[in-house]
Structure 1
Amino acid sequence: MSAQATGTIAVFGATGQQGGAVVDALLDHRAQVRALVRNPQSDRAQALAARGVELAATRADDPASLAAALATVEGFYFMTPEANSLEEVEAEVRIGKALVDAAVEAGVPHVVFNSVFGADRESGVPHHDSKHRIEEHLRTSGLRASMVRPTAFMENFASVMAPSLEHGEIVLRMPLSEDVALKMISIRDIGRVAAALLLDTAQAPGGAVELVGDELTGPRIAAAFGAHAGLPARYEALPLSVLPNELDQAMFRQFAEAAAHPSDLAVVRSIEPTALDLVEWIRATGWTAPANAAGS
């Protein structure tokens, strides 16, 4: 990415993974960044300040603080807290609408909303439909708006969906049939695409970009990790019942349904040519095979 002179870009969610990736990409462009934070004295907020990010103290339930923080900015990126219950879904919608309304009051020239894959329609997944409702509010606000809709994070393979090493074999388990291709994106590339839209170095076709860096079936994902480790690999499909709650089960059902619609991977790369596929992500992150599982 080349340096890009710009006015101030406001970021809500800058202390999180996705918002943090947006800040990284904006700073790479030497953009001026204002982070809307609840507690400017927190360690994460202070780490942003040390990198030259301006901090603005805001509360989602205080419209005046939000509008003041958005005054004079040229662009505004926001994401909403991930909901883990139906009560949190409603809270997420309230926060999203409040941020949109504040952007309207401040007259923000361009807003980028970090939504989710499939949010252009109601899906039956409560914490995805919440983003659909926020998108609809943004769409009717009169603001110039762009949606970025990430798919599953490749970073999940370093945490909740990490492969294991068992008896000298890489084993990957997910609640997806082995013939279902999982759409995925790296968090780094979410930030880079959002930054390109905010800085007007790229446009979102039709106002939205589905963020897919790769789509592979479980056996092919396992094979990619095995090839990197120089070890045999296998995939085991798990039942949805292994997931802890109905929200997660509904999300994986949607992953399976989405697989029936192949993605145009060229769209993301037209905005961010260095967008990572899974093999590149494995290499770039320095992934190494875990220790043998207990008893293996």
Structure 2
Amino acid sequence: MAIVVTTPTGHVGTRVVRLLLQAGVRPRVIVRDPARLDAATRALVDVRQGDLTDADFVRQATEGARTVFWVDPTPHTDPEPVEASRAVGAGYARAMRDNGIARAVLLSSIGAERRDGVGHIDGLARIEEQLDDTGADVLHLRCGYFFTNLLFDLDDLARGVLTSTADPHAVMPWVDPRDIGDVVAARLLSDSWRGRVVQAVHGPEDLTYPRVTEILSGVLHYPVRLETRTDDDVRDALRAAGLPPGAVEGIVGMTAGSRDLVPEQTRDLTTTTPTTLGSWAYQYVRPKLLAAADEPTV
């Protein structure tokens, strides 16, 4: 019976698909735009084209599946992100019940355990609850802060600045999405877990923002300094960019609601992944900034 992968072109999904193919599995992938899959991958997977927010499509696309990797596709810019995520989760839960899907792995986040008060992460909490209610075997991967979020800050990093509203002295787990993909693939291929399972996915070390700037300074060979912003600073910037109030609060709330968060699971062999921020930044951030610096000005 099929293994289904949603968002197969994302930072995590691409890695999951690659590992399943290398394991000899032909996964079924649900994708809005098949052109985003490279030609070699398209030839080896079962493609179902459609929208994950369409519950009828999701039910049809997962018929005959035994195991599904669920990802919430709701953008942070959605006018009502938590409600939109809840609607997605309802479609996922319906598909699991109607199609008798036995096992599911959900890409969740640290903070979802709080259930409320963590901005858009509350939407993942709703999806966790909806999948739990299906009675299937469900694994919630509570992931740390993605390294790839730094790619949204390239303009600031080019001028030696990293901005954040987080407590600069607080430590939190940062993680490479590729390493999350490794965990996802291993869990999709394993039949050894049962019931409701929660697994944290952390990087190799917890980091403060000053430590992040120190690492980036070493990688980029120029100093990177931290600029702290208030929640209201971020609200003003998001409003100026045209985001609706619900989206603004969903984004601000993710940081505001997790400032004092201690991850539910401690760091151990099963929750710790290997890729360091320094090695990832050298491979992905440094080349992009070097390429931008070489671009001719108009």
Q: Same fold (TM over 0.5)?
A: yes
2: CA distance, partners of 1:38 / 1:284: 28
Please state how far the C-alpha of 1:18 moved relative to its aligned partner.
3.0
TM-score, normalised with respect to structure 1 = 0.80
Which of 7, 16, 19 is 1:25 aligned to? 19
Aligned to 1:219: 210
How has the CA–CA distance of structure 1 residues 238 and 26 changed in structure 2, closer, same or farther, with 3 Å as cutoff?
A: same
Q: 1:262 to 1:162 in 2, by over 3 A?
A: farther
Query: CA separation in 2, counterparts of 1:221 and 1:66?
Result: 39
- Cα distance between partner residues in 1 of 2:264 and 2:89: 28
Q: For residues 145-189 of structure 1, what are the alpha-carbon distances to aligned partners after superposition, in whole Å with 9 as ceiling and x for unaligned?
A: 1111222210122223666255xxx43222223212232211111
Following superposition of structure 1 onto structure 2, how do residues 127-276 of structure 1 map, counting pairs within 5 Å? 127-160=120-153, 164-166=157-159, 170-200=160-190, 207-213=197-203, 214-243=205-234, 244=238, 245-258=248-261, 263-264=266-267, 266-269=269-272, 275-276=274-275
Matches within 5 A, 1:60-79: 60=52, 63-79=55-71
One-letter code of the match for 1:44? R
**Alpha-carbon distance, 1:225 to partner:** 1.2
Which letter does structure 1 place at the counterpart of 2:226?
A: Y
Which of 28, 31, 48 is matched with 1:37 structurally?
A: 31
Structure-2 change in CA distance of 1:225 and 1:92 (3 Å):
same
Partner letter of residue 112 of structure 1?
V
2-structure distance, mates of 1:97, 1:8: 21
Q: State the AA in 2 paired with 1:187.
A: P
Alignment of 1:108-127 (within 5 A): 108-127=101-120
Q: 1:100-123 CA distances to partner (integer Å, 9 max, x unpaired)?
A: 211222112211111221212323
Task: Report the alpha carbon displacement of residue 36 of structure 1 after superposing the two structures with TM.
Answer: 1.9
AA aligned to 1:207 is: V
The C-alpha deviation readout for 1:237-294, integer Å capped at 9, x for no partner, is 222233222222211113422258784153334xx5xx312123224436256549xx
**Which one is further off, 29-38 or 256-265?**
256-265
The one-letter code sitting in structure 2 at the alignment partner of 1:285 is Y
Which residue does 1:81 correspond to in 2?
73
Secondary structure in 2 aligned to 1:226? helix
Give how far 1:77 is off: 0.6
The gaps in structure 1 that reach 5 residues or longer are 1-6
TM-superposed CA distance for 1:88, in Å, is 3.8
1:3 is matched with none
The size of the alignment, in residue pairs, is: 277
Amino acid at match of 1:264: R
What displacement does 1:139 show?
0.8
Distance 2:251 2:156 in 1: 19
Partners of 1:226 and 1:204 lie apart in 2 by: 44
Q: Secondary structure at the match of 1:208?
A: strand
5+ unaligned residues in a row in structure 2: which ranges?
239-247
Change (3 A) 1:63 1:230: closer
RMSD of the alignment, in Å?
3.0
CA distance in 2 between counterparts of 1:8 and 1:160 reads: 38
Contact between 1:212 and 1:263, CA under 8 Å: does it hold in 2? no
Contact 1:18 1:191 in 2 (8 A): yes
> For 1:224, what is the secondary structure of its paired residue?
helix
